[in-house]
Amino acid sequence: MSKPVLGLVLGGILGVFDGLTALVSAPETAPQIAGIVAGSTFKGLIVGLIVGYVAHKKQSLPLGLLVGLVAGAFFAWLVTLGGPYFWEIILPGSVLGLVVGYATQRYGRRPPVMAG
């Protein structure tokens, strides 16, 4: 699977679990869980696409981890603006970015180089 596609798929799947962590870290948010999971999935897709694009351009595990961490934390931070659950949102979002960054760099396939 190409790196951008892997990042997109993995980001979306992990985004679901990112959203579900709200039930553990803030159980009082249970009535809003569908919206939280949808938002986290969308956030994971964006982070996965960014990480996949960088992984496609540069073959560097440290760079993939850094971009994943920063992108995950940044989009999670955007969600926290005006909200009370800072660390409950930032930590899972950052972990999502790290995992997607690692997996995309490690397991994604680069397109073949065209000789010419």
Q: How far apart are CA 84 and CA 67, in angstroms?
A: 26
Say what the pTM is. 0.89
Supply 74's token pair.
């940044």
The one-letter code for the residue type at 90 is I
CA 104 from centroid of its chain's CA atoms: 11
pLDDT digits (tens, 9 = 90+) for 41-91: 999 999 999 999 999 999 999 999 999 999 999 999 999 997 888 999 999
pLDDT digits (tens, 9 = 90+) for 78-108: 999 978 889 999 999 999 999 999 999 999 8
Collect all residues with Cβ–Cβ distance below 8 Å to 13 and sequence separation of at least 6.
44
Q: How far apart are CA 113 and CA 100, in angstroms?
A: 24
Q: What is the DSSP letter of 53?
A: H
